[in-house]
Amino acid sequence: MSVVEDMTESNPPDRGLARRDFIRKAAVAGAIGWTAPLVLQSLTSPASAASLSGCYRLLLAQDSTCTVLAYVVSGTCEPSYGACGTPPNGTGSLATYGIMSSHPCTQTGQTYVFNITTGSCIFVSGGGITTDTIPLCNTGVLTNLNKTITLPNPGTGKKYSEIRLVVTC
């Protein structure tokens, strides 16, 4: 057999990874790298707010993402539940309810604005307790067909020690 016959398409020389195989494998790896973050994002996206039903009360952590904590009734500064009766405690994150925050919940001297940007949820009420020596209750103001609630600035150098929201979906 001659060298020319060895190099025919039916019996190509072994030179490692062929160009076509390399391109095909690179495309598969790129597709996996592209879709994995999208799948993870879809699991935590505000779109999950569309599947909620009922009323929820949310106690927000004083951290950079306003994490939803296990709700504890304080006895003071409880927001009105309206027609919700006594709603169950919310869980998850603000995104679970389609809520976006204007600031991290650690900011001092800021007006806080919470917007429901996706899903069918609306705010029922909400408010915050300031970090004064004598805590003050500030009630949130509902606007934008109850898709927005604004908590007033607690004062220079002050922040909310608790932020409580009630939503219905």
Name the band, by pLDDT with cuts 50, 70 and 90, for residue 148. Answer: very high
The structure tokens 């204007």 sit at: 102
What mean pLDDT value characterizes the chain?
Answer: 76
Spatial contact of 58 and 93, defined as CB atoms under 8 Å apart: no
Mean pLDDT of 105-120: 89
Tell me the three state secondary structure of residue 122: strand
Mean pLDDT of 111-116: 93
Write the CB contacts of 56 (distance below 8 Å, at least 6 apart in sequence): 87, 88, 89, 90, 97, 166, 167, 168, 169
User: CA-to-CA distance for 72 and 77, rounded, in angstroms?
Assistant: 12
pLDDT value of position 44: 41
User: CA-to-CA distance for 155 and 143, rounded, in angstroms?
Assistant: 22
- The per-residue pLDDT for range 92-109, each reduced to its tens digit, is 889 888 999 888 888 888
User: CA-to-CA distance for 147 and 149, rounded, in angstroms?
Assistant: 7
pLDDT value of position 45: 45
pLDDT of 24 above 70: no
Backbone angles phi, psi at 66, to 5 degrees: 55, 50
pLDDT value of position 16: 60
Mean pLDDT of 115-129: 91
pLDDT value of position 161: 85
Q: Name the nearest CA neighbour of 150 among 129, 125, 168.
A: 125
More reliable by pLDDT, 61 or 6: 61
User: CA-to-CA distance for 166 and 158, rounded, in angstroms?
Assistant: 23
More reliable by pLDDT, 34 or 1: 1
